[in-house]
Structure 1
Amino acid sequence: MTADGALDRYALRRLVHEAGQRLAQAGVASPEHDARELAQWLLGCSLPLAEGADETFVSAYAEAIRRRAAREPLQRVTGRMFFRGLELACRPGVFIVRPETEVVAGAAIEAARRCTRANVTDGPLVVDLCAGSGAIAAAVATEVPTARVVAVELADDAYAVAVATCERHALGRVRVLQADAADPMTLAGLDGQVDVVVTNPPYVPAGALEDVETACHDPHLALFGGGEDGLALPTALVRRAAALLRGGGVLVMEHDARQGAALRGAALAVGFRVVSTGRDLTGRDRYLRAVR
């Protein structure tokens, strides 16, 4: 500790180490990482670059650790979340993006890029159904600069964040619409014209939530897909995607690890001709890919 009562770099590192131990005792899955992340967020720099911390930091850090130990998600504490290199606002009422969804977005981005190569005169038209925070839509617009992107979200809080996300990262390049993604009248004017439909819809089966952080802090509207198997909304969106897509267009849909076979069957039943299940980075079945 320095003469003025502030923490020197060594005392700061001890404080962060002790915070990690507290988070571990609270059952946080990544305690050391979260303790460092919260310190770096408050300091505005990485720990190796930090020279120390004053009393204001110490009290703010203690409060942040208290909230995280109470199992408030890290993203809620910091008010930010990251997705494929983009920083997004994380607000109450908005689903927190997951790493597995980055793989789903990547599959949609690759499908859009292939459309770009096939048609050099006009960029691909991509529709993101159940857009949530706008993470996927913004990622597509950022990584496929020629894409024309439309995002659809129903919930008020998520719609507001999606608008802000797309304005920040892809100003003027994403149209965000507040509407029911499964309604046949939503985007009816685009039926038969879309190159890629991507969606991370609510798909959790009834009663399947086990994680306390998800159960307490993510909006249930963004979690449960309807029905005991969670497939009511995903199946409806497969039908909606079939109407929106042109011949040869691609649907990419995130789903629960147990829903792959059912959704492949639903896609074949409404006219998709090539269907497969993609896996996430942990090797679990994670998304449907279907060609119209």
Structure 2
Amino acid sequence: MTTLPQHPPEGTGPVRPSAAVARAARVLAAAGVGSARVEAELLTAYVLGVPRGRLALADDLTTGQVARLDGLIRRRAAREPLQHLTGRAGFRHLELSVGPGVFVPRPETELLAGWGVEQARGRLDPVVVDLCSGSGAIALAVAQELPGARVIAVERSPEALAWLRRNAAERAGAGDRPIEVVEADVTAPDLLAELVGSVDVLLCNPPYVPDDVVVPPEVAGHDPAEAVFGGADGLAVIRPVVTRAAALLRPGGVVGVEHDDTHGAAVPGLLAEDGGFSTVTEHLDLTGRPRYATASRRADGQHAPIGVAWQTDSS
């Protein structure tokens, strides 16, 4: 159990945001939370109802606000995800609703989403598919940034679908082009049969962590296991996704798949070995780790008898 340092005795007055942040940061750091100062600022700003950048100008915390912040800090120190405490997760230019039952989108996935946006940009009425959509982060980012795109988000988990539909409705209400939500298993051999040969950009952030990997407590205790773990080698979902992508993409269409940092050779290898792709490229994240692989559907729409070579790029 986390014990918070005591505030000054009752009656000494409100608490300055800077003092509340310093106190919260000490507790979070002691609990092993990374970026403790940043998270302390975010939680204090959340309780005050102000942007983090305006904390220095915010009013003091009332007694009630201090008690609320204390409760949030205890939960975060117990390694409940920050996004579950605030109910929101930032992703590119969006704020999405998240909570129990859905995978919290990660900053590194913004790289894949950005690559997808750039690939779709300039295509006439592009069709973009987001597999393993979860909260809808990738699909909704594309729809916001490319109003001319038709975006289809695919998810099978009933719990995640509830969050996906909620976020889709919120973004449509904000004026973004509505996306299409499809309840389906991305490993099904007949997935999106009506779109075979017509997809311009296919993106996927699948479950890819090998089953025996120990993950942080925020993940182990709160992210759905089916959205995290991808079988013994982490490739159980990626293999059928690669095969189905070759069928769904039009000639010249592109696919991007996020993967574990141990898959820097394996996933590009699967794309190359399929025979339906060219220009297979492995992309690194901002820390220099392998993060996602991309490829183009062969211009002739056929499968080559042998795989193509692939290269590494940085993102």
- Which of the five TM-score ranges fits, normalised by the shorter chain? over 0.9
Match of 1:137 in 2: 139
SS for the counterpart of 2:121 is helix
Match of 1:289 in 2: 294
Does 2:77 correspond to 1:69? yes
Deviation string, structure 1 residues 117-158 (Cα, Å, up to 9, x no partner):
xx3xxx100000100100000000001111000000000111
Match of 1:236 in 2: 240
Match of 1:203 in 2: 208
Structure 1: state its 5+ residue gaps. none
Structure 2 distance, partners of 1:93, 1:69, is: 21
Structure 1 distance, partners of 2:215, 2:11, is: 47
Match of 1:128 in 2: 130
TM-score with structure 1 setting the length: 0.93
Match of 2:277 in 1: 272
Deviation string, structure 1 residues 226-249 (Cα, Å, up to 9, x no partner):
2x2111111110111111000000
Structure 1 distance, partners of 2:288, 2:167, is: 30
Match of 2:56 in 1: 48
Match of 1:99 in 2: 107
Structure 2 distance, partners of 1:182, 1:108, is: 21
Deviation string, structure 1 residues 86-131 (Cα, Å, up to 9, x no partner):
11111101001111000111111111114x2xx3xxx100000100
1:260 CA displacement? 2.4
Structure 2 distance, partners of 1:14, 1:261, is: 48
Structure 2 distance, partners of 1:90, 1:285, is: 27
Match of 2:166 in 1: 164
Aligned residue type for 1:127: V
Does 2:14 correspond to 1:7? yes
Contact (CA 8 Å) 2:18, 2:56: kept in 1 or not? no
Aligned residue type for 1:204: V
Deviation string, structure 1 residues 18-38 (Cα, Å, up to 9, x no partner):
110111010000111111110
State how many pairs are aligned: 282
Contact (CA 8 Å) 2:144, 2:177: kept in 1 or not? no
SS for the counterpart of 1:201 is coil
Of 179, 184, 191, the match for 2:184: 179
1:4 CA displacement? 6.9
Aligned residue type for 2:141: A
Of 70, 78, 88, the match for 2:86: 78
Moved more, 66-75 or 265-274: 265-274
SS for the counterpart of 1:173 is coil
Q: Which runs of 4+ in 1 moved over 3 A?
A: 3-6
Match of 1:191 in 2: 196
Structure 2 distance, partners of 1:210, 1:131, is: 21
Match of 1:60 in 2: 68
Contact (CA 8 Å) 1:6, 1:53: kept in 2 or not? no
1:5 CA displacement? 5.4
Contact (CA 8 Å) 2:15, 2:66: kept in 1 or not? no
Structure 1 distance, partners of 2:190, 2:240, is: 13
Contact (CA 8 Å) 1:204, 1:225: kept in 2 or not? yes
Contact (CA 8 Å) 1:6, 1:52: kept in 2 or not? no
1:268 CA displacement? 1.9
Of 18, 26, 30, the match for 1:25: 30
Structure 2: state its 5+ residue gaps. 1-7, 298-315
1:210 CA displacement? 3.0
Structure 2 distance, partners of 1:70, 1:210, is: 15
Aligned residue type for 2:258: E
Match of 2:228 in 1: 223
Aligned residue type for 2:93: G
Aligned residue type for 1:92: P
Contact (CA 8 Å) 1:5, 1:54: kept in 2 or not? no
Match of 1:258 in 2: 262
Aligned residue type for 1:60: R
Deviation string, structure 1 residues 14-72 (Cα, Å, up to 9, x no partner):
12201101110100001111111101001011311212121110110110000011111
Match of 2:310 in 1: none
TM-score with structure 2 setting the length: 0.86
